[in-house]
């Protein structure tokens, strides 16, 4: 009988320790979230596309033009400018638009793509550079941060590579 009490206490202590260890992340998640928010961490522009500098309204849909993104020291991608068209449901079946990327009043690229019928279909399109500052891209569905045409949520996102 005297051997059972320490054994029962040991197993009870081990079980409580495991229960506490499993619950601590859930109990402290708000504390961790606040600490990360106050740390000033942000997602790199290579992933987000940067900051929107111009919005061009076209009636039912709009074109968002972002600021140029230049890679940091250890990043290997090319500089690019991101463009987004939203919402997808308001886009015409075929979008062909000249876009001023640098804000000088002159179009810099001609964007041409077909609106995908479903979320599973890839966006088919091209980007034609209208001056030497940007690069043309044929079927920009390659796996590159600098060259792409993708459906992301309720928008079509394009990245136009810049010449160095």
Rounded Cα distance, 158 and 149, in Å: 4
- Statement to judge: residues 53 and 108 lie in one domain: yes
Q: Which residues span the domain enclosing 10?
A: 4-38
The H-or-E segment that residue 64 falls in is strand 61-66
- 47 vs 154, more confident: 154
Same domain, 79 and 151: yes
CA–CA dist 55, 85 (Å, integer): 10
| Residues 155, 88 share a domain | yes
Judge if the upstream peptide bond of residue 87 is cis by omega within 30 degrees of 0: yes
Same domain membership, residue 120 and residue 80: yes
Lowest mean pLDDT segment, chosen from 90-99, 113-122, 152-161: 113-122
Both 108 and 32 in one domain: the answer is no
**Per-residue pLDDT tens for 65-86?**
999 988 888 877 889 999 999 9
Q: Two tokens at 107?
A: 């179009």
- pLDDT above 60: residue 99: yes
Same domain for 30 and 58, yes or no, is no
The reply to whether 72 and 143 lie within a common domain is: yes
Shared domain check, 151 and 87: yes
With a cut of 70, say whether residue 32 has pLDDT above it. Answer: yes
So what's the pLDDT on residue 82? 92
> Could you report the per-residue pLDDT of 105-129, keeping only the tens digit for each?
899 999 998 888 777 778 888 899 9
Task: Say if residue 23 is in the same domain as residue 72.
Answer: no
In this model, does residue 1 exceed pLDDT 60? no
Number of domains in the chain: 2
Confidence bin at 143 (pLDDT 50/70/90): low
């Amino acid at each position: 009988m005297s051997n059972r009490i320490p054994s029962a206490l040991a197993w009870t202590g081990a079980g409580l320790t495991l229960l506490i260890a499993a619950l601590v992340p859930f109990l402290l998640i708000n504390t961790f979230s606040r600490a990360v928010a106050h740390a000033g961490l942000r997602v790199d522009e290579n992933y987000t596309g940067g900051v929107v500098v111009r919005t061009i309204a076209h009636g039912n849909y709009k074109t968002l033009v972002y600021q140029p993104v230049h890679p940091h020291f250890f990043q290997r991608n090319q500089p690019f400018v991101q463009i987004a068209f939203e919402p997808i449901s308001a886009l015409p079946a075929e979008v062909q638009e000249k876009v001023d990327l640098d804000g000088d009043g002159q179009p810099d690229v001609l964007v041409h793509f077909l609106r995908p019928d479903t979320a599973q279909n890839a966006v088919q399109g091209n980007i034609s550079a209208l001056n030497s500052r940007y690069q043309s891209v044929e079927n920009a569905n390659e796996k590159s941060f600098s060259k792409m045409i993708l459906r992301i949520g309720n928008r079509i996102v394009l990245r136009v590579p810049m010449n160095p």
